[in-house]
Structure 1
Amino acid sequence: MKVLVTGANGFVGRTLCAWLLKTGHEAVPGVRREYGMRGEAVVGDIDAATHWAETLEGCQALVHLAARVHVMRDTAADPLEEFRRTNVAGTLNLARQAAAAGVRRFVFISSVKVNGESTLPGRPFTERDAPAPQDAYGLSKLEAELGLRAIAQETGMELVVIRPPLVYGPGVRANFRALMRAVARGLPLPLAAVDNRRSLVGLDNLVDFIVTCIDHPSAAHEIFLVSDGEDLSTPGLIRGLAQAMGRSPRLFRLPLWMLWIPAALLGRRATLERVCGSLQVDISKARTILGWHPPVPVSEGLAQVVRHHTS
């Protein structure tokens, strides 16, 4: 099967293209500018005017990864409008052209942020929950989902929506990489008192799930949450990273209120909320409908990240 992958030069896209080739598919890497990937199709900026016809020729499926991604401190004058330009208008323009080109299945990589930012103990997000995005990025992803659903109903193109939580793996950046550096340096971390649970998804597990959604007949017109199936507390994640590094985790207990004061003063409340809060997803739908189980356990996923960043 010939599969167009947008955002193919990114963290998930490169690995997905490699997996597609290994599983007998023909991957067409869609990129905004030249990156030197084999068979890449350069399309420029992704918005309502992007021309996709030549790139889509002969493709039976499409995985849409390209997006304006969430950033902690957005400097755009109107962040929502910027997100909409790429994540909504650009996505729907691609979908219309894909349907016209005869693409059978459109796999959209959305975000758990469509569901919300946090969960209560014992109440993981499910696909049945009413969407509750809390920021411009999450709202743009929800608007894209709704627009894609309308196009799918109108054209008959099969739509699959995947909402991953935080993705980690070789090459991960941002807060996850900063936490790895802190553990590697043996910095004391005042997080032993944190009692939360967070769902993560390793890169290999996410890519395996995407490939499943490309091929599986029962994935059509469904929304799926995906994770490693093993939720971790923040101290548990630190211990897992430390074990993979062969180090002792330097955790100590500090009352949580003592963390909130400096976080508020430094404008880092959102970061601390992610560190201390819970965000869990229920993947029983993927297990039941698709028979999918995460192939890589968390311990091995963390070991892969550590090996990559210390080699």
Structure 2
Amino acid sequence: MRILLTGATGFLGIRLSTSLAKLERFELYCSMRKPGPCAAGRAIVTGELGANTDFKSALENVSVVIHSAARAHVMNDHVVDPLLEYRRVNVAGTLSLARQAAEAGVKRFIFVSSVKVNGELSNERAPFSPKDSPAPEDAYGISKWEAEQGLKAIAKQSGMEVVIVRPPLVYGPGVKGNLARMVKLVRKGVPLPLGSIHNKRSLVAVDNLVDFIVTCIDHPAAANQVFMISDGHDISTSELLRELGKAMGMPARLVPIPAGLLMFGASLLGKRDVAHRLLGSLQVDISDTEALLGWKPAVSMQDGLRRCFTSENGF
């Protein structure tokens, strides 16, 4: 079975290509923006992802497309119109690829979306599920939701199967962003005012996400479904910092400050969004995922965090 993977040089794509290349039943092709090495598989240069990107040669004899390429969530975005830029890549680029895939006879299109389609915080409500009405708040989440809607329309018109995966925060060796910042602070022994945070956050180890996507390649029950995915173990910010400390072999220095006081201070400093990510809850319900596909997370959160520091590509 020939597979085309986009985003093959990204954080997720590198792990996906490496895993897929080890499975003899798959012939892997990797879409690349520019000439260069890829972790595994045969590289095909297709250029920047957009409405006019030509994937014709890359899609020849392809059975499954795994689309992980995207304009990712950008902190401190300086473009004039962030939503326009996200739509250019994540919506127009994705739907152009999907239309070309359908015309080429691709059987299944796996789209790596985001939990941000559901919303930013679950807080006092039930964990997010695929049955919830989407409520994206930022430009990235809106672009992913619009892409999902377009993909469903293409699937209905063409008969190509579409599988949508909505991961929460993905972590693993070499991950950047907020988790990398936490690691840096714990490693420096900086006292953190997060010892009394009792929120709940769902995370997913990159190894679990890769394993799930591989399952979706040819599982009959995955066709035309939307899946929530996580490690199956929710954790508070305080617990996460302690687990990171254990994985590093050093304690996290946490000071117990009430969450309400922290939120008030963050609001005064114009950092309310940052505070929501640290103090708020974002849980996902993977019970339907487990029941429909018979899938279970292969890696525990503790092992996933340890791998962040034992891998040669780790922190």
TM-score normalised by length of structure 1 = 0.97
Instruction: Rate the CA distance shift 1:133–1:122 in 2: closer, same or farther, 3 A.
Output: closer
Letter in 2 for 1:31: M
Counterparts of 1:225 and 1:257, CA distance in 2: 30
Aligned to 1:34: 35
Aligned to 2:231: 228
Give the CA deviation at 1:261.
4.2
- Contact 1:9/1:35 (8 A) holds in 2: no
1:64-87 Cα shifts (integer Å, max 9, x gaps): 011111112221111111111111
Counterparts of 2:212 and 2:23, CA distance in 1: 13
Gaps of 5+ in 1: none
- 187, 190, 193: which one aligns with 1:187: 190
- 66, 69, 79: which one aligns with 2:69: 66
Aligned to 1:135: 138
Letter in 2 for 1:267: G
Let me know the Cα RMSD of the aligned residues.
1.3
- Matched residue SS, 2:4: strand
| Count of aligned positions | 311
Give the CA deviation at 1:307.
2.1
- Contact 2:114/2:166 (8 A) holds in 1: yes
Counterparts of 2:254 and 2:15, CA distance in 1: 33
Aligned to 1:57: 60
- Contact 2:123/2:280 (8 A) holds in 1: no
Give the CA deviation at 1:252.
1.3
Aligned to 2:112: 109
- The alignment status of 1:205 with 2:208, answered yes or no, reads yes
Give the CA deviation at 1:123.
0.9
Letter in 2 for 1:281: V
Aligned to 1:298: 301
Gaps of 5+ in 2: none
- The alignment status of 1:5 with 2:8, answered yes or no, reads no
Where has structure 1 moved over 6 Å in runs of 4 or more? none
Counterparts of 2:55 and 2:269, CA distance in 1: 44
Give the CA deviation at 1:285.
1.0
Query: Pairwise mapping of residues 263-278 of structure 1 onto structure 2 (< 5 A)?
Result: 263-278=266-281
- The alignment status of 1:175 with 2:172, answered yes or no, reads no
Farther off after superposition, 21-30 or 11-20: 21-30
- Matched residue SS, 1:278: coil
- Matched residue SS, 1:56: coil
- Matched residue SS, 2:53: coil
Counterparts of 1:242 and 1:162, CA distance in 2: 30
Give the CA deviation at 1:180.
0.7
TM-score normalised by length of structure 2 = 0.96
Percent sequence identity is 51
Aligned to 2:14: 14
- Contact 2:173/2:314 (8 A) holds in 1: no
Give the CA deviation at 1:310.
6.2
